Amino acid sequence: MTERIPALKREGGVPRSRRGRKLLRLLIALFVIVLIVLFFRSPLSEISEIEITGTQYLSKEEVGLKLGVTPGDSFFVPSIAKLKARLTEMKPIESVNIIKNFPGKLRVEVKEYPQVAVQLSDNGQLLAVLSNGLTLPIPEGNLLDKPILSGWKPEDVNLNALCRVLDELPNYLLADLSEIHPDPSISYPSRIKMFTRSRFEVVTTVDKLKDKIAYLSDIVQNREPGKIIMLEADTYLPYSAENVTDE
């Protein structure tokens, strides 16, 4: 009588194919780590060029110093957000855009506050007045086509408000204003007196200037020179009529 031989049980443990896959994954991970280490130790991970554009009142050297990185530093650290935060601490800068182009190029696009007026310093130097109220030396070669601010104190709150309004005016209207000084009264603390290159004398307030400027533009283009008051009511008197009244 033939007897059946029982089948032998397989030894326990991980199948050979599974052990092979684990070993392959481990080798790949080690290879990737080695590549990462080599990359961060190579020139590819460094800044090779820094390009700064848009500066007018600040020098590129000042911006670069505040940026805090130089060619040879890490391309990835600090982050773009941290670099922006450093530059926006500079008072003339309104905004900044930073672009990293791999490999190695760092582009810094600066936007400074625009110039809205000119001011004469105590020592006779002409200063640019920016839209945030900051005064800086005028770069050589800049055209002096902005109004001159006379008689203003740096701590005057109306000065900053005026600079913001001037920033919103069209260039052709801003170019016609030759001089602006404070002329406050009890009723109108923010009252100002302006003179135009077209020989008009204008009285208004910082608060009303933006809304009243269209009326001023209409008179300047269509009337002879004279005095204009733009407060609660608008009045216009040509110099010729004023002379007749005096006589």
DSSP codes, 166-178: HHHS-HHHHHHEE
Exposed / middle / buried, residue 193 (Cβ in 10 Å: 0-12, 13-18, 19+): middle
Cβ-based neighbours of 180, under 8 Å, separated by 6 or more: 117, 147, 148, 149, 150, 162, 192, 193, 194, 195
Could you give the domains of the chain? 45-112 (3.10.20.310), 115-246 (3.40.50.10960)
Cβ-based neighbours of 102, under 8 Å, separated by 6 or more: 75
Per-residue pLDDT of the chain (247 residues; tens, 9 = 90+): 555 555 555 555 556 667 667 776 777 777 666 656 654 555 566 788 899 999 999 999 999 999 999 888 887 778 899 999 999 999 999 999 999 888 889 999 999 999 999 988 777 778 999 999 999 988 776 666 789 998 888 888 899 999 999 998 877 777 788 999 999 999 999 999 999 988 999 999 999 998 888 788 788 888 898 999 998 888 888 888 765 555 5
Cα–Cα distance, 111 to 5 (Å, whole number): 90
Q: What is the CA radius of gyration of the chain?
A: 35
User: How many alpha carbons fall within 13 Å on the CB side of residue 64?
Assistant: 12
**pTM above threshold 0.85:** no
Query: Cα dihedral sign for 142, 146, 150, 152?
Result: negative
Cα–Cα distance, 139 to 123 (Å, whole number): 17
**What is the pLDDT, as a whole number, of residue 244?**
53
